[in-house]
């Protein structure tokens, strides 16, 4: 399950892990104009962990999801 919210300066997507198997904490993805952040609560420390991707890294990730194993460079 996931939710999508449009805030003033970002689009916020929350991924909710559902099911009976070992569940992970929710992941919140915030898409800003200049970067994308991913946040997840660390179950051990209770502190949020944040990863920031540049827009170029986000484009590379999107492309990588549909490619076979290998090394790639996206032409501009």
Element (H, E) at 58: helix 55-64
> Helix, strand, coil shares of the chain as percentages rounded to 5?
15, 40, 50
Single pTM value for the model = 0.81
Q: What are phi and psi of 66, to 5 degrees?
A: -115, 15
Give per-residue pLDDT as tens, 22-52. 788 999 999 999 999 999 999 899 999 999 9
Give per-residue pLDDT as tens, 2-25. 899 999 899 999 988 888 777 889
> Predicted confidence band at 71 (pLDDT cuts at 50, 70, 90)?
confident
Domain range list for the chain:
2-64
Contact 38, 53 (CB under 8 A): yes
């Amino acid at each position: 399950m996931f939710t999508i919210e449009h805030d003033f300066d970002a689009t916020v997507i929350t991924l909710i892990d559902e099911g009976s198997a070992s569940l992970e904490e929710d992941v919140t993805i915030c898409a800003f104009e200049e970067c994308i952040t991913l946040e997840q609560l660390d179950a051990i420390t209770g502190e949020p962990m944040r990863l920031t991707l540049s827009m170029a890294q986000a484009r590379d990730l999107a492309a990588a999801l549909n490619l076979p194993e290998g090394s790639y460079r996206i032409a501009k």
